[in-house]
Chain A
């Protein structure tokens, strides 16, 4: 398993598993969306608005899962100085920002008919907004520092500092009893959600996780290729003198 930390082997592995992952993602989304929009019943209080939850909740899970992935990669960057960890970390930031954005927008769309307002300064909402801003800050940091390995180390330190926000998001609904409802799936004593609604939700959770894995692997591979291109460009620009003799040699050989 550890040998796939080599970027070349990693790219080969990604090329092999990617078609299967894409297929599995499409299948999971097909089942999950069918379950969410057709097979599951409407809520007795919320009506059809409850179907927003099948997008909102998995996006919220993934927004945090993505940060956890980034934290693990950040440790890889700082402890082992591994270039693959750098690439994984960089690839995760925009994905995390995307999932957090989906989570905020769908939550807002659900909040208007249910709570009567697009946005409240509730503890859960605010802490997720802070997560979104941290993602944007990380992307800004990646875009500002030119040298990739230095940018990776800076982003890793900031990621590790920002990880204090994750438990705040998770427990915000328990610590501050405000508008957002408490956890209803992963809790002691089993989920408080009807089985007919639970299975589409969990399927959508699997589908979102597969989507994230697929996109993350693709994006990490692209980042490895981008780094390789950058190295080649630097070599071509700086090592032009070293490259020329070999080139002229072939010319001479071809000349007579």
Chain B
């Protein structure tokens, strides 16, 4: 029985992430901690929290996605499997896309599922639960792909985590703008939900189309 190499890679990534040392669930725990410390910083005023709740959830998702990405290619670089991926027939761009998809399934998808629950803690209106979840569902794949560019550029560095965040966060600002305005649209009467949401969809689609090429180029150049 033979499987396509990309499907095999996808399953391998998920399996590795669930093992000890994979750190698959760490993103959600970090997300929870960020959401927990924010009310301590700004005070437990429920009106204020429900107003800025979507923004808090988005910033927490942004940070927990990016900080979990530094190992995306580094572990493969250390044990030599990255060299195999570079040498094999399957295009590196597709491999990158599959690796990002697997990484998103393990780290991004749990954030989307957990977001309504955490929204409850931030006293969000019931109407905006689905708006936050939908905007995160559409936006987090683009965050993973953008972060993969930073992770690929810092693949050979011993401590690339902070540098990855410095390199990638400026590029993630458009996603944050449209993500938060879509997430906050359900509670505010001024902005419609669909306009920022569709722009967010467009940004994610262009990230899926363009980012794998940048990541693959970075991996080729960096691991020479």
A contacts, CB < 8 Å to B:
78, 126, 130, 133-134, 136-137, 140-141, 144-145, 150, 153-154, 157-158, 160-162, 164-165
- B82 CB–A CB distance under 8 Å: no
In terms of DSSP, what is the predominant structure of the interface of chain A? Answer: helix
Contact (Cβ within 8 A) A162 B166: no
Contact (Cβ within 8 A) B163 A141: yes
Nearest A-chain residue to B223, judged by Cβ: A150
With contacts A145-B157, A162-B170, A162-B171 known, is A157 near B163, CB below 8 A?
no
B contacts, CB < 8 Å to A:
149, 153-154, 156-157, 163, 166-167, 169-171, 173, 214, 217-218, 221-222, 224
In Å, the complex CA distance between A150 and B221 comes to: 7
Contact (Cβ within 8 A) A137 B166: yes
**Residues of chain A within 8 A of B163, CB atoms compared:** 140-141, 144
Contact (Cβ within 8 A) B217 A78: yes
Contact (Cβ within 8 A) B153 A154: yes
Contact (Cβ within 8 A) A157 B218: yes
In Å, the complex CA distance between A158 and B156 comes to: 16
Knowing that A150-B156, A150-B224, A157-B149 touch, tell me 16 more A-B residue pairs with CB under 8 angstroms.
A126-B173, A130-B170, A134-B171, A136-B166, A137-B167, A140-B163, A140-B167, A144-B154, A145-B157, A150-B221, A150-B222, A153-B221, A154-B153, A154-B218, A157-B218, A162-B171
Nearest A-chain residue to B206, judged by Cβ: A164
Contact (Cβ within 8 A) B153 A130: no
Which of B149, B169, B221 has most chain A Cβ within 10 Å?
Answer: B221
Contact (Cβ within 8 A) A154 B217: no
**Distance (Å) between the CB of B70 and the closest chain A CB?**
13
Query: Could you list some 9 contacts between A and B, CB below 8 A?
Result: A78-B217, A130-B173, A137-B166, A141-B167, A150-B221, A150-B224, A154-B221, A154-B222, A158-B149
Nearest A-chain residue to B211, judged by Cβ: A161
**Distance (Å) between the CB of B193 and the closest chain A CB?**
20
In Å, the complex CA distance between A127 and B69 comes to: 25
